[in-house]
């Protein structure tokens, strides 16, 4: 992705993170009932708040959603998604984090699953997330 063409749609910046454990498995989170795209599996993360960098957002979201503690130097940028939904355009940088403390817990009632990179294709994902899988397969 090298160009974002203006579409007149609201631009939404969401940061996402592939947490990687010592067995090279990646954590996927299932979007809970009641949310848009409920039931689909995604990389943890969330909306970047005003005044936040994507890295600050991820440190906060990983703690809020999963009880995971990490620091900005532990987040390595890998790639980013750009996807036009009906009502907004999503830009979503994907980071990789291998150094974190704590055991991931579903603090927001979401399903959680540690999966091997090639198994990620078996988990239905939002259209923005699915193209990111290949980058992780190549990396891991």
Task: CB nearer to ligand C5P: give 55 or 129.
Answer: 129
CA–CA distance, 113 with 1 (Å, rounded to integer): 28
Distance CA 28, CA 139 (A): 17
Q: Contact at 8 Å (CB) between 73 and 53? A: no
- Is 46 a residue that touches ligand C5P (CB under 6 A)? yes
Site pattern 12..41 for ligand C5P (x: CB under 6 A): x-x-x------------------xxx----
Cα angle 66, 79, 134 (rounded to 5 degrees) comes to 90
Show the binding pattern over residues 52-91: x = contacts ligand C5P (CB under 6 A), - = does not.
---------------------------------x----x-
Contacts of residue 73, defined as CB under 8 A and 6 or more positions apart, other chains included, come to: none
DSSP 135: H
Contact, 91 vs 82, CB < 8 A? yes
Binding footprint of ligand C5P, residue count (CB under 6 A): 16
Q: Does residue number 93 form part of the binding site for ligand C5P (CB under 6 A)?
A: no
47 binds ligand C5P (CB under 6 A): yes
Kindly state whether residue 9 participates in binding ligand C5P, applying the rule CB under 6 A. Answer: no
Q: Which residues bind ligand C5P (CB under 6 A)?
A: 12, 14, 16, 35-37, 42-43, 45-47, 85, 90, 126, 128-129
């Amino acid at each position: 992705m090298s160009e974002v063409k203006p579409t007149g749609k609201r631009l939404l910046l969401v940061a996402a993170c592939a947490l990687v454990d010592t067995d090279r498995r990646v954590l996927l989170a299932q979007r809970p009932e009641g949310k848009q795209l409920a039931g689909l599996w995604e990389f943890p993360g969330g909306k970047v708040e005003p005044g936040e960098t994507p890295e600050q957002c991820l440190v906060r979201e990983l703690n809020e959603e999963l009880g995971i503690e990490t620091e900005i130097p532990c987040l390595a940028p890998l790639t980013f998604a750009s996807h036009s939904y009906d009502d907004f355009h999503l830009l979503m940088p994907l980071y990789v984090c291998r150094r974190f403390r704590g055991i991931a817990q579903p603090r927001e009632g979401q399903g959680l699953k540690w999966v091997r990179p090639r198994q990620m294709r078996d988990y239905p994902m939002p259209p923005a997330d699915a193209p990111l899988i290949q980058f992780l397969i190549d990396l891991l």
